[in-house]
Amino acid sequence: MNPDIESWWQCPYRSEPTIAEMLNDPIVHLVMARDNVRGQEVSDLIRDMAMRLGLTAKQAA
């Protein structure tokens, strides 16, 4: 899992879980394992979508 996941996306409502908290949920771990998906893949997808939507600054390649 990317340790900087919270630095590029902060949840504006603290009553809602952050992305890192959701990815660390045991049920999410079970679903990701069932589907053979790693947490890093999910966080990369979320980061890419946030950049495409203009929610974050684009990173240099």
Condensed to tens digits (0 to 9), the pLDDT of residues 3-13 reads 455 554 555 55
Residue 17: how many CB atoms within 10 A of its CB? Answer: 13
pTM over 0.85: no
Q: pLDDT tens-digit profile of 11-57?
A: 555 677 788 888 899 999 999 999 999 989 998 998 899 889 888 76
Supply the range of the domain harboring residue 33: 15-52
Please give the Cα distance from 37 to 33 (Å, whole number). 6
Instruction: Identify whether 42 is part of a domain.
Output: yes
* Total number of domains constituting the chain: 1
| Positive/negative CA dihedral, 30, 35, 36, 41 | negative
Structural domain contains residue 23: yes
More confident residue, 40 or 2: 40
In a domain, 26, yes or no: yes
Per-residue confidence (pLDDT) for residue 7, from 0 to 100: 53
Does residue 57 lie within any of the structural domains?
no
